[in-house]
Structure 1
């Protein structure tokens, strides 16, 4: 059966996988934020970045599916905004005006400056946009191993949103018949550029070097949806996907080649794992991702001598609670407004 026919959007294990991926990001960052040394990595890619690849791959599939579902175009953008932005705004508000001043109060040699906190909040409002974003708040993290950065993982959100817009605009400008080829061409072009960078030293700005692999992973998920009537997620096809992924890591080519096999494996696992109930009521994966780093900074300040295992366990216990509160009292209430689109109601034009 083609994948698009076998995939059940209301009964799958993708929420469970996103929970696992978000947890892997927090675990990976424990080494860096807690001062325990280098993050665990494979093929020059840290565990946390592997997790982000998986996030982007799943998003590419789901966001493309949402854009082509026939809902109003404005409704697509409004739903995406509600999914990311309210939780993000509350998070940076808490960091600026709760976490940072509390950290200064319990850390010797640290002081909180309200104007710096306000600047942090206002400059990061545009979804932690490059150039505009502010990483630190005064000298509140001056003594921390990962000094001056309260919430590093947030930098990916701007580019995830940019991928949403990319798919949204492409689906508006390109007919449904030509869209798979166009997205596949973007995916192939991005892969070629990244491969040239890794193998021949093609110079890329650091921001492009960091971002392009995430875009490739997103486009891989999009391609799998657009070509889902031709893709069979059978156990035998999993073996070459794992082989390609392992080879990409072993030869240091994961940023170029990991996107497609990761997308394939994530969607296959989402289809076959019996974890449909995980995250079906309260999806806390997003909260884990956005609150992991600032909570780990607070934990280091409170318990700077904690052993690594204790630090990881405390980090996960705390972030799971905060992520649940974010899901229950911020993200879910915001999503109830999905049907109240405040702008444009034109229907999606699905071309033959």
Structure 2
């Protein structure tokens, strides 16, 4: 009996525009894994280690794995946005997706959490230079500040929100991709592939020379996965999503842990698994039932876990995860339905405003 194309596997390009995917489920799972992974350093219980880290054999820890997965998915999806809809639409989409919820989160840290938790008197806290400089975190471009004056100083980890560092890396990756879009480089696949591979090689051997990213070594791995995600999109007609290849990728991922070649094999193999799970597994429609809570989970998990650690000081990391999870999901639900989704729904209005401004600024336009 001949093998059908469906049985042989379908190329990534066959899923262009297919909204029946599991990216929301994957992102929410990855965000929760960051929460779970952070429970161990936040609690820092003597003799308690994350059992998953033993499986990874020192190659990676669960929070890093989850963040890298975020960046691979992000690189793929934003490359699609840029190539299909252009730089202006891409930029507006990124701004609306990242900044409104982040600004609210930063303000909540400074003016709600900080005053309630600081050991300083309120006036001293509000006028402290570190209180005011924390507001720069909302720009997601500069080095993130993790501490607020007098807040969580008695805990093992004194940071108010240690997860936000990756947003700076993500925004800078967005800017580099936008620059490639402005120069029309993303529309020439051969050239784009060459530049991305060159950037990856440069990152391995001369990372400090990478523009916008090289000043912080911590950005290296997330940026690598972002580039791999972009490569997957550019070459989606060549990448077949097949169960046998997914199984091979899973074996390659697992057996690379603890080996010198893990850094070379793992990014492509893990990214392949993510897209196989996104497109070739039964669709779970969380978007209409619950919403995309992944961003809210990511930006609110750390401060909630810190509060749980403060009020349940003798509980271990698993109890921290158990207690924090429903609180974080509730905050993420509020963030999505009250902030993120309503703002994203205004995208066309913002696009129309930008178009009117561009029209007025063009030479020869009729200005009153």
Question: If the TM-score is normalised by the length of the shorter chain, which range does it land in?
Answer: 0.7 to 0.9
Instruction: Give the deviation of 1:317 after TM superposition.
Output: 1.1
Partner of 1:224: 232
What per-residue deviation string (whole Å, max 9, x for no partner) do you get for residues 235-263 of structure 1?
A: 12113322332344221554444322222
CA contact (8 A) 1:195 1:253 kept: no
2:333 matches 1:324 = yes
2:186 matches 1:173 = no
Q: Which structure has more helix as a fraction of its residues?
A: 2
CA contact (8 A) 1:82 1:335 kept: yes
Partner of 1:44: 59
Partner of 1:215: 223
| Alpha-carbon separation, structure 2, partners of 1:318 and 1:259 | 32
Partner of 2:321: 312
Where does the alignment leave 5 or more consecutive residues of structure 2 unmatched? 1-9, 359-368
What per-residue deviation string (whole Å, max 9, x for no partner) do you get for residues 77-97 of structure 1?
A: 111100010000000111111
The 3 A distance-change label for structure 1 pair 280 and 227 is farther
| Alpha-carbon separation, structure 1, partners of 2:187 and 2:153 | 55
Among residues 172, 175, 186, which one is paired with 1:162 in the alignment? 172
SS in 2 for 1:250: coil
Instruction: Give the deviation of 1:286 after TM superposition.
Output: 0.4
Which structure is richer in relative contact order (CA contacts within 8 A, separation 6 or more)? 1
Deviates more, 1:287-296 or 1:164-173: 164-173
SS in 2 for 1:125: helix
2:155 matches 1:144 = yes
Partner of 1:60: 75
Among residues 290, 294, 298, which one is paired with 2:307 in the alignment? 298
Partner of 1:349: none
CA contact (8 A) 2:301 2:324 kept: yes
CA contact (8 A) 2:147 2:160 kept: yes
2:130 matches 1:122 = no
SS in 2 for 1:229: coil
CA contact (8 A) 1:221 1:263 kept: yes
Instruction: Give the deviation of 1:134 after TM superposition.
Output: 2.1
**What value does the CA root-mean-square deviation take over the aligned residues?**
2.7
Rg larger in structure: 2
Partner of 1:350: none
SS in 1 for 2:163: helix
2:112 matches 1:98 = yes
Among residues 84, 100, 109, which one is paired with 1:86 in the alignment? 100
CA contact (8 A) 1:111 1:139 kept: no
Segments ≥4 residues shifted beyond 6 Å? 202-206
The 3 A distance-change label for structure 1 pair 321 and 26 is same
| Alpha-carbon separation, structure 1, partners of 2:60 and 2:216 | 16
What per-residue deviation string (whole Å, max 9, x for no partner) do you get for residues 113-139 of structure 1?
A: 112474144222321622xx3221112
What per-residue deviation string (whole Å, max 9, x for no partner) do you get for residues 261-282 of structure 1?
A: 2221111100122233023451
Where does the alignment leave 5 or more consecutive residues of structure 1 unmatched? 347-352
2:89 matches 1:75 = yes
Instruction: Give the deviation of 1:336 after TM superposition.
Output: 1.5
CA contact (8 A) 1:61 1:221 kept: yes
| Alpha-carbon separation, structure 2, partners of 1:144 and 1:284 | 28
CA contact (8 A) 1:286 1:323 kept: yes
CA contact (8 A) 2:185 2:192 kept: no
Deviates more, 1:10-19 or 1:279-288: 279-288
| Alpha-carbon separation, structure 2, partners of 1:195 and 1:227 | 22
- How many pairs align? 334
